[in-house]
Structure 1
Amino acid sequence: MSYVPPHRSRTGESGEQGAPGENTFGGNGYRSNGYNNGGYQNSRGGYRGNSNGYGNRNGGYGGGYGGGYRGNGYGGGRGGYRNNSGGGYNRNRNIPGQGRWVDGKHVPAERDTALELEYFGEAGDPHFQSSGINFDHYDDIPVEASGDNVPEPITEFTSPPIDSLLIENIKLARFSKPTPVQKYSVPIVSNGGDLMACAQTGSGKTGGFLFPVLSQMYKNGPAEVAEESNVFARRKAHPTALIIAPTRELVMQIHEEAKKYAYRSWVKACVVYGGASIDGQIRQLERGCDLLVGTPGRLNDLLERGKISLSNIKYFVLDEADRMLDMGFEPQIRHIVQGCDMPESKERQTLMFSATFPKEIQHMATDFLNEYIFLSVGRVGSTSENITQRIMYVEDDEKKSSLLDILTAQDDTLTTGLTLVFVETKRMADILSDFLITQNFPATSIHGDRSQSERERALEWFKSGRTPILVATAVAARGLDIPNVTHVINYDLPGDIDDYVHRIGRTGRAGNTGIATAFFNRGNKNVCKDLIDILGEANQEVPDFLNTISRESSSGRGRGRGGRGQSRDYRRYGGGNSYGGGSYGGNSYGGNSYGGGSSYGGGSSYGGGYSSGGSSRGGSQWW
């Protein structure tokens, strides 16, 4: 059968029915009893039970998207959403991989070989990448922690402060030692403190908040849920932890990591995001949710529908916080934090994680955090020395030819490594991926105009190595952890140097090495000086043409970096005390930079804000 790229394969023949819990990769997508080529195959959309009935209390969720939830199923009878042991569903059912909280004690589930293979893979599988060959070099990265009562960092995964069950899961993931950000975040959260953490991409930020939060949840158990007279109110989800991130790809990734490290525990992780069925997500929440990951827009929608209560939140995490503000999400985040039933900052722990934190965002964080510790790991806003950076002078009309030369030269390694190619426009993403296919390079593309199922399929095919070249716009540039990416190519350089940093951070992760190639010409001179700084900081070669163009240019620095103080704690180094003027445009990030307009406007560079100004329910596909 000839190769068909995902964005051309919108429809396909039905896959054959698989056995419950079985999941095989078929010609046009996933073939199982639940999921086939972006659609759900059987009459009930893949929810299987003894009678193939969604409402069957003896059935399960099993078999569908990977067979992860098998056995006796969710539920616990009508009205049984909560029980005396706390948590979100009937804790007394024996669900593979799902532990319980009984009489104030954590009772882990038995080990499940199939789930462990699904979550952690086999040793040596490049698609389950763990620490790399340069991981020990992380010990040399400088760390700055400021604030009151900063605890001593940990040097190993030990109990305490990390729960013993979580340590077992970390070992299954084949991580042998904490990264610098994890060394500090674990004791800070264990001591009950708030945290603002800046760390370079690929430094373990996700584990930096999941490890300490899950450890505390395992220790303290589920919170009691207040009785509500309304029968529908009793079906609300009452999560203990809430994690917000800017894009649906990132929240899906965090959710996968949360499921992995919550394996065998009482904690049930759920994810909500736009572009997918809200009804399916509501059903997921009604089965119970202890740790919720979501995008700002979909969270607001579900809160307004009364499907989620934040009254039990003990741990609140903002990941990629600066990017969420850049995308115009501040009004939604403020509504979630200050306009709903979330406890006050003194009654919860709040963690903010990102690769950059300019002073203005640090000021804003004072509204969300309480007496926090500021953690700066490495040269924040810079790149990793694990990444070999190459800058090539290439005119626009020579880019395709140069890309083919690079891919041909590395052709022998395509079976073991993945190549991520970044472009600036959605149209170019499809044009370039189609061009590569005509040149016999298996490629696919991902951008904001593709449907959710198409994007998920493209990412899955890329991760699996079926299409080892992915052409992407900014949707995949920030936060995504795609294992085994060995080469990042900036076909189009971004106009913001921070975007360059985050793009090339898709390789060289977790101590592994990688290559980043960028096509540069005089059309990119606005980032020339910042690019020279980035190369110098990472001990990389600076091409002569960059120095020449930098001397010729009088445009100064690009917009993105704003000087070298953005990794510092402004409480120690001082600085401005308001948001007025400059790039933040006055009140509530209105003005030019964030779009202003109605309470959900702004964010034009990512497909518009919540409703691009106007009604409060626009439903941008970015959520």
Structure 2
Amino acid sequence: MTEKMPKRTIEDVEIEAMAVGQVERKKEKTGEKGKKAKRDAENGVEVGVNGAVEEEQGMKEKKEKKEKKEKKDKKRERKERKAKEKEGEAIVAVEDVMEVDVVGTPVAQRQPEKPSKEERKAAKKAAKEARKKARKEADGEPNGDASPSSLDTPAPPKTYSTPSGPPMTSSGYKENSELTSLPKSTIDEFLTKHAITITDPHNSNLRPITSFSYLPSNSFDFTGFTSPTPIQAATWPFTLSGYDCIGVAETGSGKTLAFAVPAIRHIIALKAKQKSSKGVRAVVVSPTRELAAQIYDTMEKYSKEARLSAVCVHGGVPKDEQRAKLKRADIVVATPGRLNDFINEGSADLSNVSYLVLDEADRMLDKGFEEDIKRIIRAIPSPTRQTLMFTATWPKSVRKLASTFMVSPTRITIGDDDLRANVRISQTIEVIDQHAKESRLLALLKQHQSGSQCDDKILVFCLYKKEVTRVEGFLRSRGLRVLGIHGDMSQERRTQALAQFKDGDCPLLIATDVAARGLDMKVKLVINVTFPLTVEDYVHRIGRTGRAGADGMAYTFFTEHDKKLSGELVNVLKAAGQPVPEALLKFGTTVKKKEHSAYGAFYKPTDGTQTSKKIKFDD
């Protein structure tokens, strides 16, 4: 009996046929690969070095494509995720609103999502604008700009706008009747004799105070002074009247008293009007520590007589003692850097200051203090501020600075705008070989500091700090009593050296230009071992002698390295009536063109007699 085959569906038959076909095709492919490998082996085909390199490059390209694709995928995923998150936040916000509207109670607080980079930048910008707007409103400056540095400091000082009106007059100056009764010819003779030029935009016709007795309610001790110096006599009427004032005068002309006397009278008048008045009322800014200390000595002497307190603020010493004295001071004498430190930390409150002095303004600009000066000015209220500026020269940089914060200032010039040396100083220029300086210096010191002259003070200037150390060591090895001073020394050592020189304990001082300005001490002789970098600095160096009406001497070594300054030096010597050596003239007298104080670099002086010329063109 034959066994019957089980019935199969059409689907089963089709699947079975497909499987058999796949197996057969696979066998065919395997066979083809085997045949190809066999043919390659038979033909001796080998994979070379070039093929390996190509294969490696291909793998590298595949890898790079794969990485790029993965980066694109990740970027796309991030975008999709952010879009979903924003969509979710919008849905949540709608649900919150609906829930509050329907139920009447808010939903549970949700954790806020981290803001994006763009959102953080926008929020930061908005906060910055808000702070800036609040500061402007607090200062009464709807259109002013805040100082960039004030945003970074922990305790930013209050800033004030550029003054827009005349300063307040607090001292109520009234001209002395005896001064008023003097004939005009006497006043004109005084102005002509001292080459005083007064540029007064107020047309106040104030006469110079030519005698101490003409000062109002004179309670100052001027023992040792016969009469006011030209800069004092000419500026006092205007500063006592409350006007902004610019004084241009040579070094050693008595500028310290020119602003010290009005400052003290100004504060006394304010205290009489405001019984509960406290805080700093006057600020004097100077370029160097030594000059600041010297101004402070003068201020302290006269402020004590008026029962006022003064403090000197400069670098090189600890801040703690200065910080404590600032709290009870009426007058602050400071260098720009240290005063700005105290302003930024909130230790110096200048909101009550109404009398500001910038001494040696040209020197401060030369030393790069312009931004520091502007920050100090911004910290002082302008509507009540009286500003004084004293300078030995009147260059464009100083004029520009004065125009930004002074109100119609009266300018008093002793001499003219050109650089001039003190005519009472005998100037000797020696053209010398670089290697002969030390032996010539030793000969000069023996000539001017021997016998009865052994205690006469001599100040020797060098250009570099290392040069000071070398010259000091050389002179000490020759048995001379000598001290050195330069910027790398500690403030304590600098102060001690200056004190010993001033007191006469050591009559010979070697210094860099740190001692070139403002030091008020009797110096018999100045010697320039190395010529300074500018003729302006030369004038200030020799200005350490011949001060307060006395005569002085200056010797200067000039070498071939300095020949580019020979023209300007010749002009300074001629203007002061000093001899010009032939050896100096050999270097030339060319001078770089100077700008006119009013017309700038394009000014050309003419006598007005030249007539126009008719130009003819050939046919």
Q: Given the two structures, how large is their TM-score scaled by the length of structure 2?
A: 0.64
**5 Å matches for 1:7-406?**
140-148=193-201, 149-150=203-204, 151-161=206-216, 163-166=217-220, 169-171=221-223, 174-221=224-271, 224=274, 238-286=279-327, 288-338=328-378, 340=379, 342-344=380-382, 346-379=383-416, 381-406=419-444
8 Å contact from structure 1 (residues 462, 470) kept in 2? yes
Instruction: Output the CA distance in 1 between the equivalents of 2:314 and 2:526.
Output: 27
8 Å contact from structure 2 (residues 212, 218) kept in 1? no
Give the equivalent residue in structure 1 for 2:581: 543
Q: Supply the AA of the counterpart residue of 1:264.
A: E
Q: Supply the AA of the counterpart residue of 1:499.
A: D
Q: How many residues align?
A: 411
Gaps of 5+ in 2: 1-170, 172-188, 603-619
Instruction: Output the CA distance in 2 between the equivalents of 1:475 and 1:438.
Output: 24
Instruction: Output the CA distance in 2 between the equivalents of 1:576 and 1:363.
Output: 15
Give the equivalent residue in structure 1 for 2:495: 456
Deviation per CA, 1:375-395: give whole Å up to 9, x if none: 111245211111000001111
Instruction: Output the CA distance in 2 between the equivalents of 1:546 and 1:457.
Output: 38
Mapped pair 1:500 → 2:511: no
Give the equivalent residue in structure 1 for 2:507: 468
Q: Supply the AA of the counterpart residue of 1:450.
A: M
Percent identical among aligned pairs is 37
- Root mean square deviation of aligned Cα: 2.3
Gaps of 5+ in 1: 1-103, 105-135, 228-236, 578-623
- CA gap 1:451/1:295 in 2 versus in 1, 3 angstroms: same
Instruction: Output the CA distance in 2 between the equivalents of 1:412 and 1:328.
Output: 44
**5 Å matches for 1:477-488?**
477-481=516-520, 483-488=521-526
Deviation per CA, 1:135-177: give whole Å up to 9, x if none: x99982200010222421111012543x4222xx112xx1110
- CA gap 1:372/1:153 in 2 versus in 1, 3 angstroms: same
Instruction: Output the CA distance in 1 between the equivalents of 2:192 and 2:554.
Output: 23
- CA gap 1:244/1:223 in 2 versus in 1, 3 angstroms: farther
8 Å contact from structure 2 (residues 431, 559) kept in 1? yes
Q: Given the two structures, how large is their TM-score scaled by the length of structure 1?
A: 0.63
8 Å contact from structure 1 (residues 420, 485) kept in 2? yes
Give the equivalent residue in structure 2 for 1:429: 468
**5 Å matches for 1:569-580?**
570=597, 573-575=598-600
- CA gap 1:139/1:170 in 2 versus in 1, 3 angstroms: farther
- CA gap 1:350/1:357 in 2 versus in 1, 3 angstroms: same
What's the offset of the Cα at 1:500?
A: 0.2
Instruction: Output the CA distance in 1 between the equivalents of 2:507 and 2:340.
Output: 36
Give the equivalent residue in structure 1 for 2:594: 563
Give the equivalent residue in structure 2 for 1:27: none
Give the equivalent residue in structure 1 for 2:73: none
8 Å contact from structure 1 (residues 223, 240) kept in 2? no
Q: Supply the AA of the counterpart residue of 2:195.
A: P
- CA gap 1:534/1:371 in 2 versus in 1, 3 angstroms: same
Q: Determine helix, strand or coil for the equivalent of 1:406.
A: helix
Q: Supply the AA of the counterpart residue of 2:410.
A: I
What's the offset of the Cα at 1:311?
A: 1.3
User: Which structure carries more helix by proportion?
Assistant: 2
Q: Determine helix, strand or coil for the equivalent of 1:318.
A: strand
What's the offset of the Cα at 1:529?
A: 0.5
Q: In terms of mean alpha carbon deviation, does 328-337 or 213-222 score higher?
A: 213-222
Give the equivalent residue in structure 1 for 2:11: none
8 Å contact from structure 2 (residues 191, 197) kept in 1? no
8 Å contact from structure 1 (residues 170, 261) kept in 2? no
What's the offset of the Cα at 1:495?
A: 1.9
8 Å contact from structure 1 (residues 478, 502) kept in 2? yes
Give the equivalent residue in structure 2 for 1:412: 451
Q: In terms of mean alpha carbon deviation, does 349-358 or 380-389 score higher?
A: 380-389
